[in-house]
Amino acid sequence: LPEADLNLVVRDELALKAAKQLEQDYGTPYLSAGMPYGIEGTLHWLNKINEVLPAKNPEAVRQEAEAVNARLQFRSSNMQSLWGPLWFDNILVAAPPSEAAGIAEAVRGEWADTGNLIIHFTQGTALRPKAATKICIAGKDDAAMKETFENWSGGLVMGSSLEASRLVRLKKPFVNCNIVLPAYHEIIATDLPLCGIRGAAYLFERIWNAKLSACMDEVKQTN
């Protein structure tokens, strides 16, 4: 560790304190880059790293990102022509800080529209993503978090089975997309990532499929 040229911190809640201590003890600089979610989010993440650790061929990555993004936009346009825009009245993102902040920015900034995006951080953090309409921190804003569930009127829930189970008990309507464990109502047997360019496509797919599942339920109820 003392011989490292740079410490890259992707989870502030786990490693930022240690990175600061190593800088103080050994003079090793660090970069707090967060986690790369979404296409634009991943490119921004790579650019931050490239400023201190220049990549050999950043153009190849940019071209791959553009190709994947074009494919996602094409798929999205097709689905929108059939089912309408990827709109949710409310979006709740509940996860550890690095995941929640990155996913919230990607979802609202790149793919979905919403009138209200709430983040429930599962632990304390200084992160304040601009995508959020409201931010609650577990152990500090528990009353406000309770109000989120009690006043929930429908929308996309991105969290674990803990949030889903709570809304089920309250008989609240919601569309579910698991992003963290525990997951009790679906099986996750693959190691597909949510981060990076490949992960962006997977996350995009999961969000759209959550919406489409809800749309199909509505169709069944009207027939």
**pLDDT tens-place string over residues 64-104:** 999 999 999 999 999 999 999 999 999 999 999 999 999 99
Question: Maximum Cα–Cα distance for the chain, whole Å?
Answer: 69
Mean pLDDT across the stretch 141-151? 98
Q: Given pLDDT bands bounded at 50, 70 and 90, which one contains residue 187?
A: confident
Domain limits, the chain? 7-52, 59-222
Task: At 156, list the tokens.
Answer: 């996309």
Classify 59-222 by CATH class: alpha beta
d(Cα 118, Cα 22) in Å, to the nearest integer? 35
Residues 6+ positions from 94 with CB-CB distance below 8 Å: 100, 119, 120, 122, 157, 158, 159, 160, 162, 163, 180
Residue 111, Ramachandran bin (φ over 0: left; ψ between -120 and 50: alpha; else beta): alpha
**What distance, in Å, lies between the first and last C-alpha atoms of the chain?**
64
Q: What is the pLDDT of residues 28-56, one digit of tens each?
A: 999 999 999 999 999 999 999 999 999 88
Q: To 5 degrees, how large is the angle CA 173–CA 184–CA 189?
A: 120
Q: Given pLDDT bands bounded at 50, 70 and 90, which one contains residue 189?
A: confident
Q: How many CA atoms lie within 13 A of 24 on its CB side?
A: 6
Q: What is the pLDDT of residues 96-106, one digit of tens each?
A: 999 999 999 99
Q: What is the pLDDT of residues 121-135, one digit of tens each?
A: 999 999 999 999 999
Q: Given pLDDT bands bounded at 50, 70 and 90, which one contains residue 2?
A: confident
What does the mean pLDDT of the chain come to? 96
Backbone dihedral angles phi then psi of residue 94, each to the nearest 5 degrees = -125, 115
- CA distances to 4, 25, 117, 172, 185 from 148, in Å: 44, 43, 11, 11, 22
Q: To 5 degrees, how large is the angle CA 86–CA 179–CA 188?
A: 110
